[in-house]
Structure 1
């Protein structure tokens, strides 16, 4: 697939490095030649120095035969105009824009053919905020993502020594929770996947990736680790867009929220634009005296959400040492995140991975309803809709055991109408089923996509 990306900033770089690894033909446009040089040195892609809103630049970049156009420059206006040009002048079939403004999606006319011709919006701030909120609501989990409009959840949790599943094989799940619709789709030990089978024994400190009917999620996870106290008191370091969005959402849900921001002018803005029950503090999250004065030891959750990885790591380590029950840090550099998660930092959140999960739904071929990255972006879980019949589809009318999935991939659940089904090898997939597929490596996704593409004879 030929992909044209406008913007080589943090979001554009993340999009490029993720898509180029899947053997796409990538071209990136940016006004900063240094950004492009760094990308070209690291990845097999083409850089084009110029303004993505100029017709001549887009033409030179190959817009005329582009399959997917992604505008993720820092400016909303640039992204919107670039999408309109890509559609009206070059007839690019799919166009995605990164938009910061929260209200654009509320005006469909702005996105349509008479507006800026945008097929889909991505908002990193919204994606990260939603993901952080799910971690606060589900304190036992390391990761929570949803499929089938929230009816199916994929949850990663670390097994505690006193749990019902510790030192028992995967097949004991049915015995441990007979009334719970769930299955284990992956087990990680020491950060490495085991490609677990039903005989695999789950050990304390293993990370178990569980697919579960959302209604049963809490009961299922509490078989893996003891229930944690409900979160009520939250302290956030960083009053940027993500900190502002999260603080507002938590305050509206009656959480007790304290927000630390370094910049005095930004503090004034936050104080005016946040509900009165959010306490805004001017200071630095690495200030030990400030954290002690604000009773960090009484906090259920600490979140470090500044734009500086090092500050987020150091403030989180300090908060943990001073008694915060759970600490979550926003970390952009993948190497930092892998090093820190599971140490004194409970969860390292990658903004890039949260954004990619939102974007991939529009990138994957076939009828894809949702895609989420798992295991620091190594694996994926995808919700694909089965269409056609046995003649026109590779999956419809076939038993799950007959579907030719890549090695290690598995079908974890089917959403059929109102029913959530954990299939066995004899379960037959029907047209219209939403099929949740776990794929252990991104490089295998192309084969999974082909399985859910119907033949040209399907009408």
Structure 2
């Protein structure tokens, strides 16, 4: 597969890392030789210095033969224009990253699709979705719903009061048990567990279960004392905050802190009565106390500064807030935030890269996401008639090391998978993998 990436910035670099694992033919275009030198040194790909809106540059990159053309420069106009040009030159599929909410409207997306921009990625929408998913349950680090909630993945930090520590998983996750452990993050290492592995205190464990058993999961992991989220404080009034608040459930009471007075006036108009906008610094402990942080279950830090967001979340935790969410765009800071026990880490660049990564896979791969904290991929694959995955029970399939099947959806009903499960054509199968080529997995389906 020939893939062209315009923009050797954070998203382009993260995409290159994801795609280079699949040994695709990748060309990165950028006007800055230093950025290209760095990305070319780190990954197995070609680089081309030039403007992505230059016909000469696009022809030199052999855009006419591109299966996927991805524009992720910081300038949305550049991204739109070079995708239109790439389409005209013969690229099969084009993707453009944008930073304006207008592009997320269905009518606008349809307009640009007619011009040759097949897919528009708006990271703020994707980040807002992950933020709200993280607020659904205060005791969960990450929640991921499969097929409208037929299956649910829960990422949970385990503490001393967890009932299922230090026991082989083969004794815990049998065919009749209502959950499976599909991935474990421990001391910086990701484990796709087998039957002899055990859960340890302070593990970040990823469970697959069904919606009726969520209360049971909460009990066995020792999180029943966590209060449900009703009151939320948000720091920073940028585009991500606006999108997240606009799509938050109605039952949440939201207070938004923004330092800039002019921005506060805009936010009051945009958000209306749904949100109390406060002109102030959410790092001010006395202000937080006055505004009721002791009665707040979730604190969401969405400024453009990673250090500010991390420190604000640490302060909120010290003041008794159980659930904290921080936007951290620097990958190095993301791992640091995890070690400091910041709750949910949101990285818009990684989220956007994961969504684009999905586009290079087959149409029957319904959803792929990158679990940044676990350094693992999780995806929904549809099993085709005659596919290898349908020929034998799971235990006899010879799954690659680093891959596990978390569950499946059959006729709209979520089911967990055991070694004796036989996957049928048409089943939606949830796959977890770490250091495994996703294209290799795709071939099994």
Q: Normalising by structure 1, what TM-score?
A: 0.87
Are 2:400 and 1:401 equivalent residues in the alignment?
no
Is the 2:5–2:27 contact (alpha carbons within 8 Å) kept by the matching residues of 1?
yes
1:195 deviation in Å? 4.1
Contact (CA 8 Å) 2:390, 2:424: kept in 1 or not? Answer: yes
Q: Tell me which moved more, 213-222 or 407-416.
A: 213-222
Distance 2:113 2:134 in 1: 39
**Aligned pair in 2 of structure 1 residues 39, 408: CA closer, same or farther (>3 Å)?**
closer
**What secondary structure does 1:93 align onto?**
coil
Query: For residue 295 of structure 1, what is the aligned residue in structure 2?
Result: 292
Q: Counterpart in 1 of 2:355?
A: 358
1:80–1:116: 8 Å Cα contact kept in structure 2? Answer: no
For 1:135, what is the secondary structure of its paired residue?
A: helix
- Identify the match of residue 234 of structure 1 among 228, 232, 235: 232
The answer for the alignment partner of 2:317 in structure 1 is 320
Asked whether the 8 Å contact 2:180–2:208 carries over to 1, the reply is yes
Check if 1:123 corresponds to 2:122. Answer: yes
Counterpart in the other structure of 1:457: none
DSSP 3-state at the match of 2:265: helix
Q: Tell me which residue corresponds to 1:166.
A: 165
Which ranges in structure 2 are unaligned for 5 or more consecutive residues? none
Q: How many residues are paired up?
A: 444
Does 2:103 correspond to 1:96?
no
Give CA-to-partner distance per residue, 1:214-258, whole Å, 9 cap, x none: 3433432432222221111111111111111112223x6131211
Distance 1:171-1:44 versus aligned 2 partners, 3 A rule: closer
Other structure's SS at 1:239 match: coil
Q: Is the 8 A contact 2:138 2:322 kept in 1?
A: no
TM-score with structure 2 length normalisation? 0.90
Instruction: Indicate if the aligned counterparts of 2:11 and 2:350 stay in contact, CA closer than 8 A.
Output: no
**Matched residue of 2:289: which SS?**
helix
> Could you report, residue by residue, the CA deviation over 1:292-314 in whole angstroms, capped at 9, with x for unpaired residues?
33333332111111111111122
Q: Match of 1:445?
A: 438
Structure-1 separation of matches of 2:123 and 2:33? 24
2:246 equivalent in structure 1: 248
- How far apart, CA to CA, are the structure 2 residues paired with 1:235 and 1:113? 37
SS in structure 2 at match of 1:274: helix
The answer to whether the aligner puts 1:330 opposite 2:330 as a matched pair is: no
Structure scoring higher RCO (CA < 8 A, sep ≥ 6) equals: 2
- Shift in Å at residue 437 of structure 1? 1.5
Alignment of 1:55-70 (within 5 A): 55-70=55-70
Residue deviations 1:321-376 (CA, integer Å, cap 9, x gap): 23333222111222222122253523332223322332222122462111122253
CA shift in 2, pair 1:196/1:404, >3 Å: closer
RMSD, aligned α-carbons? 2.7
Cα deviation digits, residues 145-180 of structure 1 (max 9, x gap): 2222432222111223223323433234358x96x6
Matching of residue 77 in structure 1 with residue 77 in structure 2: yes
Retained in 2: the 8 A contact 1:366–1:449? no
C-alpha contact (below 8 Å) 1:247/1:259 kept by paired residues: no
Q: Return closer, same or farther for 1:38/1:385 CA change in 2, 3 Å cut-off.
A: same
Tell whether the 8 Å contact from 1:248 to 1:275 is kept in structure 2 after alignment.
Answer: no
For residues 125 and 420 of structure 1, the distance between their equivalents in structure 2, rounded to whole angstroms, comes to 30
Match of 1:455 in 2: none
Question: Structure 1 residues 32 and 215 mapped into 2: Cα distance closer, same or farther (>3 Å)?
Answer: farther
Distance 1:444 1:28, change over 3 A: closer
Cα deviations across residues 247-281 of structure 1 (Å, max 9, x unaligned)? 2223x613121112232222221111112241222
Distance (Å, rounded) in 1 between the aligned partners of 2:414 and 2:269? 45
Change over 3 Å in CA distance of 1:197–1:377 after alignment to 2: closer
1:368 to 357, 365, 369: 365
